[in-house]
Every structure is written in C-alpha cells, then in structure tokens.
With several copies, the nearest count.
Chain A
Amino acid sequence: MPRTPLEPRFTIEHLSILDSDGNLDTALEPDLPADELKRLYRAMLLGRRLDERMVRLQRQGRIGTFAPIKGQEASQLGSVSTLRPTDWMVPSFRETAAMIWRGWPIDKLLLFFAGFLEGGQPAPAQHDLGITIPVATQLPHAVGLAYAAQYRGEDAVVMAFFGDGATSEGDFHEAANFAGVWHVPVVFVCQNNQWAISVPLKKQTHSRTIAQKALAYGFPGIQVDGNDVLAVHAASREAVERARAGGGPTLIECVTYRLGVHTTADDPTKYRTDEEVAEWARKDPLTRFTEYLRKKNLLEDGLEAQVDAEIAEAIRRFEATPPPDPLAIFAHAYAELPPDVAAQRRELAERLQAPPPRRADEEHPPAPPMRGQRMTRR
C-alpha cells in the first residue's frame, strides 16, 4: 500500500572518536587541556580501583550489596565532566565514579553501602541527588529540577543517569515526555551496558537503538561509543551547551558494557558467556584511554599507588565510623516529629537505657546478607 512519507525523515546519529584499536578521528577530537585529560584519567582509574576494592569489602561483609561500575568509567566520566558544580547531577545506583567526580567522599559512599543513611547525605552546597534505587524513578526528579532552575532564571543544567533496562519503565517515558514538552535543560544519559541483570537488550526493547527513543519525544537523541571517553565527552558537551542555551533536552545513549557482576548478589555466569565478556574486555575504556594518553605523554608515574592510597585512606575513615546511634532513625523522618512518633522515640530511648535482655539468644541472629543461591565467580 503506497503512502506519503513524512518529511523531514527521522535520523539518529552515532558518534565514535577513539576506537578500541586506538584509531583516532582527529577532526572530531575534542580540544581538552592536558590537565583536564589527566583529571579524567585519574577519575577513571580511581573508579576502577575502588570498584575492585569494594567488591572485596563486600565479600568480607564490611559493606552490603552494591553495583560495580567496571567497564562503564568512560560513560560516567565523559558525561559528568561536562557539568559545572552549579549544574545538577541525578544518579541511579551505579554511578560511583561520577559521584566521586562530583565530590562525594569515598568514605561516605562506603557508609551508604554499609547501611548508614548518613552515606546518602549530599553536602550542603552540592547540587547532586543521592542514589536512587527504584529504576527510572529519578528521571522525573531531574525534569522537576530542570524546570525549577528555569523557573528561577538560573542557568543550571541537569544531567540524569540510568541504564538500558530503565528505558522500559513508565517513569522514563513520562519524564522524557515532560522534558520535551517543557523544553527544560536536562540531559538524559543512558548507560546502555547491554544487560539489565540477566535480561539482554534484545529482550528489553525491540528498538534498534536506545537513542532513537528520543524521536518519540521530539528532541535530539544520539548514540555514542560509551567506552570512548572522548566521544562521550563531545556528545555531552554539546548536549549540555544546547540545554544551557535554552535548546531543551537531549538523550545520549552510551553503548558500553558491564564487565563485572550486576551487583555483588549476582552471578553473571548464569546468563552470559565468557566469550562475550572477553570480547568487551578488549574494548575496555580504560585501556583505550591509557594508550591515548601514553601517546600524548600524559601518563603520570605512580598514579595507581596514589589512587590506591586515597582509597585506603577513605576506607580507614569509613572503618573509624562509630557504631550507629539507633535513635538517629528519628532525626530526619519529619521536620517535626508528630506526637505519636515522638512517643516511639521515647520508647526506643528507654529500651536503649534498659538492662540487656536476660538471655543472650534473645538477641536477633546476625542478619544474613542478601543473596541468590550461588556466589559469583567474577
């Protein structure tokens, strides 16, 4: 049946600057000062090393379950590094590297994953939301922040992170649609790491790309090589600048890969092959960037040791945290505790004063960690 195609046709572009074989498109190469390149590299390295360290901390029971970032450093840092401190960053639950770039102390993050709410408290002047666990639910918040910035006449841009799986949620759709209609300064950064736990992208959506989902909302979408920090940076800078100039939202799909476990409760050998992982390991964003800097003679000696020392120091601070004060559960529940909750607080205070229970086994047994049946290999 013939029909009239709507003109102009819809296009989505792909951007790659530095590929996994080290080929560089010099025409597209962003013009980043040496300092900035070194800072980016350090942050990527720190992200990688901390990730490995945190997996060990989790295995030792010193922190609880968390979501490692290995493989996604370029996606996170290429993007977040285009923000100003006065811009807003809205993470999901897998943005350790980006959060540290934004100023979250490492020990605070550890505290968070050790089950202390204190770990979720941004510093007073920090323009970041904390970790959001329910997939995609942070995206409407990003749109609201962006609206508020615009309403107040402030030129802040909001960058929101989420995964490929998150694009299936209604909240992704509603947020993107609001952003399009309201034309607010928000950059949606999807880290398409190919998997949502055990569900591969092709079972997540039948669309060819994530980027093309922007067509549904009438704003630009672009697909970038998410393991190419230069490409991610270039695309993000463009999107952030457009947003700041009043050009509205952008969706950036970073094509990347989660090299490690989904979370420390996950066993990826159940659902994906070693070959697949090995293939993506060859596209490692860190290796690629290392080579790039080596050619530019920007690699610093002793950086690994420096980074490890920073991590070790943060872990020391984390471990020096005093045991949690149970009464603190009431400190921030409400601006002012309602009378009945205040009474509950008094009850707890009295219990804490009371002599220990008569028999030892009246105590709660130690809580088992959350887990599936098997421990993981990677």
Chain B
Amino acid sequence: MKLNMVKALNLALRQEMERDRDVLVLGEDVGVDGGVFRVTEDLQRRFGSQRVIDSPLAEAAIIGASVGMALYGLKPVCEIQFSGFAFQCFHQIENHAARYRQRSQGRFHCAMVVRMPYGGGVRALEHHSESEEQFYAHIPGLKMVIPSGPRNARALLVSAIRDPDPVIFFEAKGLYHAAREEVPDDPEMMPLGRAQIVREGRDLTLISYGAMLRVAREAADTLAQEDGAEAEVIDLLTVAPLDRATLAASVQKTGRAVIIHEAPQSFGPGAEIAASIMERAFLSLEAPIKRVAAYDVPFVGFARERATVPDVPRVLAAARETLAF
C-alpha cells in the first residue's frame, strides 16, 4: 500500500490493537474525531470506546492515568494533541513514567507510548509549531523517537508499542501529508536506538531527523551537484538513546559534520550529538562540527517562521564552511 504518514501510523495502531488486547489508545479527541490529525481515525469504531478513549482535557491526567494503566499491565498509547501542550504533563513523564521501573526495582514498569505531533511548517500559532525533543532526550529512563517518513513511522511505532519501557514518539506535522510511501501489509519493526545512513558519502556527514531530514537530503544533493562533495546523510530516528557508534563511524570516515534540527540551538540536541562525536572521533575531525538550528528566541509567529527554521541554503552555507575549513 502507498500510504502517507497519517495512514501509516493509523495502520500501526490498528494492527497492534488487533494483535494485543492490552494496547489501548487515549487522549483528547482521539475517538469519535479520530484525532485532530486523524491518526486514530476509525479506531474507536473498530475497538470501542473503552479501548479508544476520548479523555477530558487534561494532559497530566492523560499521562498519569496511562502510567496507572501501564502499572496494571496494559499498554496505553496516549496522544498529546500538540507537543506544545505536553509541559502540562511533564511532571508525570519525568516523575513517574521514566522512573517507575527503577523506583520499584523492576516490580513495575511503564510500557507506554506518548505520541505527539511536533514541529513547524504548518502555519500554526504558538505552541503548535515548536520542537521539544531535547526535554525528553535528557530524561533517563525514556526513549525519544522521531520518524522521518511513512514507512519508518509505522515500523518505529510498532517497535515503540512493543517496547517494555516508555517511549516518547514525536510525529512531524509537516510530514503527515507530505509524501506517500510503500508500506508493507505485514507489521514491520525497526529497532529503537539505531540511526540509519540514508545516503552514503565520504566528504561530510549531515545529521538530522524528522522533518529536517528532507532539508539535509536536499542539501546533500545540491552539494553533490554543485560542489562535487559527497555528503553522508544520517537519519537518527531515535534521538535518545543516541546511536553514538553510527555517528562516530561516519565522522571517522568523513572528518566533518553538520547537524540540523528545528529545536533552538542552545543546549539543544545538536550539542549532545556534537559533543559525542568529538569524544569518539576527535582525531578524525577536520573541522568544527557545525549546528544549524532554530535561533534561541521564543516562538516568532508563523509569518516569520522561515527566518529561524533551518532551510537548505543555511545548511549549504554551513556545509561549505565546514568543507572549506
């Protein structure tokens, strides 16, 4: 089937729910409405309103109740309507979901997935366009996953649901309808914590994930055409735990790297990626690792979004500086 990311995610949910009665879905508007982005469309009709729950408007209780369900042995897949509203439940994620296995010394664990649309490019207001992966990546006990296309979104969501630990699952709003991809009928999984080299190259490593992967790929194409430089492009897929080995191996080969993300630059995910590469590939580095990220200012309004979200020209400029270093 050729599916866009919305349909691919929906397929993953449907098949996992068919496979395992313990999987249930809850969140604001996920039932009758099928989610504001339609990712949970039709699930309530299929599985009933006990399994696909339209919750009251309260994020902390959505996560908190999911924690309780998970402690009982269920596998809630909950949706926070936009990642910008997940700070309301950040304490339940940090205080509890991430810690229950450790706190109870293995007696309990939270096999749960928290899905959230994130990121910009959709002409939306404040809190509907931000990119908050860093906050989750820094919390021990969590996994932080961000797919970049329909097929890996489906496979990673299946893996996240089957993972025995809590997974924060970010879905780039800009990718929901961006492209359709062949997605196999049978459930497919991808290991969490593993990055993918989506383009091989020897001159430079471009590292990205989610919606920014397209920017990295396009920049790589241009570099090949216009500069004769072959960029290796890495799609993280899982931000945390970071696939440090794949990153280091690539930069050991290329000697140069540019990291691209939508989150603000300072104290952002690019910092860990850069620091980690430096630690592991120091002697191979031919140039400082560059970061292309949003500027360190609060939400700018979508009329000016393009001024701050990384785009191909900015990546090209950074890549060329790095190559010329």
Contact = CB atoms under 8 A, between A and B. Distances in A.
Direct A–B touching in the complex (beta carbon < 8 Å)?
Answer: yes
Nearest to B303: A115
A22 interface: no
Interface in A96-153: 113-118, 120-124, 129-130, 132-135, 137, 139-149, 151-152
Contacts of B56: 165, 168, 174, 177-178, 181, 199, 203-205
B95 A174 contact: no
A339 B34 CA distance: 37
Given A117-B102, A174-B61, A362-B313, 8 more contacts: A133-B126, A134-B85, A151-B69, A168-B58, A333-B102, A364-B311, A367-B122, A372-B37
Interface residues on A, range: 35 or more
B61 A175 contact: yes
A203 B85 CA distance: 20
B93 to A, nearest CB: 11
Interface in B96-140: 96, 101-109, 120-128, 140
Contacts of A124: 107
B296 A344 contact: yes
B16 interface: no
Contact of A170 (B54, B58, B69, B300): B58
B196 interface: no
28 contacts: A64-B125, A117-B300, A122-B107, A134-B91, A134-B95, A135-B85, A144-B65, A144-B67, A144-B68, A144-B70, A151-B51, A165-B56, A168-B57, A169-B59, A171-B88, A175-B64, A177-B61, A196-B57, A266-B36, A329-B304, A330-B297, A334-B165, A335-B164, A340-B266, A340-B296, A348-B295, A362-B313, A370-B173
Contacts of A169: 57-59, 88
Interface stretch (B149-157, B199-207, B228-236, B240-248): B240-248
Contacts of A341: 140, 241, 295-297
Contact of B123 (A115, A171, A331, A345): A115
Interface stretch (A236-244, A283-291, A311-319, A351-359): A351-359
A60 to B, nearest CB: 13
A328 B304 contact: yes
Contact of B28 (A197, A326, A351): A197
A246 interface: no
B66 interface: yes
A333 B140 contact: yes
| Residue among A123, A170, A334 having the largest count of chain B Cβ atoms under 10 Å | A334
A36 interface: no
Given A134-B95, A199-B57, A344-B295, A331 B165 contact: no
Interface residues of B, number: 100
A266 B35 CA distance: 10
A141 B63 CA distance: 9
Nearest to B49: A203
A135 B95 CA distance: 11
A148 B68 CA distance: 8
Contact of A270 (B28, B34, B85): B34
Nearest to A343: B244
Contacts of B193: 338-339
A269 to B, nearest CB: 11
B69 A147 contact: yes
Contacts, number: 292
Interface string A254-265: 000000000001
Most buried by B among A113, A196, A340: A340
Nearest to A164: B57
Given A121-B106, A124-B107, A357-B313, A174 B60 contact: yes
B13 interface: no
Interface in B32-88: 32-38, 41, 50-51, 54-61, 63-74, 76, 84-85, 88
Contacts of B322: none
Interface of A: 64-65, 113-118, 120-124, 129-130, 132-135, 137, 139-149, 151-152, 165-166, 168-171, 174-175, 177-178, 181, 196-199, 203-205, 265-266, 270-271, 324, 326-335, 338-341, 344-345, 348, 351, 357-359, 362-364, 367-370, 372-373
B311 to A, nearest CB: 5
Contact of B57 (A135, A271, A331): A135
A362 B58 contact: no
Contact of A140 (B61, B106, B109, B308): B61
B156 to A, nearest CB: 16
A168 B65 CA distance: 14
- Which of the listed residues A65, A151, A329 has the most CB atoms from chain B within 10 Å of its own CB? A329
A248 to B, nearest CB: 15
Interface in B159-192: 163-165, 173-174, 177
Contacts of A148: 68-69, 72-74
Contacts of A132: 96
A120 B104 CA distance: 5
A178 B55 contact: yes
A197 B36 contact: yes
Nearest to B311: A364
